[in-house]
Amino acid sequence: MEKKTPMLWHQILGQIWKELLPSFGIEVLTEVSVMIESPRADILLLRRRRAWTQEQRMRLPDGIRDSEATHILVEFKATESLTKEAFIQAQAYEHFYKQSQKLTQEEVQTFILCAKQPLEFHREKWGYTTLVQPGIYRSDNVFVEQIQLISLNELPDTLNNAWITCLASRKKKREKAFALLKQQGIKLMPTLLYLLMVKLWRYFKIKGDDDMGKLGLTPEEITEMNEMWGEGYVATLPLEKRLAGANPADVMSLFNLHDRLVGANPADVMSLFNLHDRLVGANPADVMSLFQPTEILANLSTENIEAYLEQRKKTEG
């Protein structure tokens, strides 16, 4: 029996933040070295140089965006429940990271993110009885008081939280997150992050397969994916990318004649037609009124002019 490779969820969370945050001045590192010479730890690091900006806060979850620390350590528990080992590990990571980087306690803040909602019994056992804000707990246990606990399933359904609550354990929570990302977040997504979100959405739609790279899609699932993400993403693309490969005639057929010609130079439009086509349906008198008499007579022979004048005299006489 083929052994399935476990999903490295902390790397997926790290990839979301790597696509979302660096262009806004937040450095994102995964599998951080917590000592000068040590194994790398399965922990995420967010670093900034100044106070969070509004653009950064739009992309960071509650708790993290409220921290004043310049170095944020994140231990992500995607499938595990809270255990003694989880707290010891997070505590050790923080201790050795501060020591190796020569940082103070105020400069570093550690968070444990839980995809599964921690049981009240487990929270209270570690002193996490203080609700800082919905979904975020602080402990009165001196051993872990500097480590905040974030429960993804309990965070408010807002766009800034949706970037990570799409990894929550509860299906309804994830669905609300993906809906927010579709409605409000697509315009903030770089292309690679959009593709990652589509893969995540596909993964959660197809249960029982731990290999995102080998997921197959039925025609019905492709239609569902397009309905979920397609139109919203296309709307964020530059016009030239939306129209790439389209038949000009098909595009123009979507507009009425007036809309097609708005902004066009009349001379450029008329130059596309021969003289006969330009004058079809025009009143001859209206056309002739545009010319001076000398211009009208310039190409007529003397005999034609005299014949016209003679005929005019007879008509008027």
Of the candidates 180, 206, 239, which is a domain's last residue?
239
123 in Cβ contact with 137 (< 8 Å): yes
pTM for this entry: 0.64
Convert the pLDDT of each residue in 123-153 to its tens digit: 888 999 999 999 999 999 998 999 999 999 9
What is the b/e burial string over 65-95, where b = at least 16 CB atoms within 10 angstroms of the residue's CB?
eebebbbbbbbbbbeeebeeebbebbbebbe
| pLDDT value of residue 40 | 47
Of the candidates 239, 269, 292, which is a domain's last residue?
239
Looking at the fold, whether 75 and 159 belong to one and the same domain comes out as yes
Instruction: Report DSSP letters for 27-90, one per residue.
Output: EEEES-B-SSSSPBPS-EEEE-SSSPPHHHHTTS-TTTTT---SEEEEEEESSPPP-HHHHHHH
| pLDDT value of residue 219 | 52
Structure tokens at 106: 């105020």
Range of the domain at 60: 9-239
* Distance, CA of 28 to CA of 11 (rounded, Å): 11
Looking at the fold, whether 20 and 145 belong to one and the same domain comes out as yes
Convert the pLDDT of each residue in 65-75 to its tens digit: 999 999 999 99
Of the candidates 239, 268, 302, which is a domain's last residue?
239
Looking at the fold, whether 268 and 234 belong to one and the same domain comes out as no
As a whole-number percent, the residues of the chain with pLDDT over 70 amount to 79
Looking at the fold, whether 152 and 256 belong to one and the same domain comes out as no
5 in Cβ contact with 211 (< 8 Å): yes
Say if residue 45's pLDDT is above 60. yes
- What value does the mean pLDDT take over residues 166-186? 91
Say if residue 234's pLDDT is above 60. no
Say if residue 78's pLDDT is above 90. no
In 3D, which of 17, 128, 118 has the Cα closest to residue 73? Answer: 17
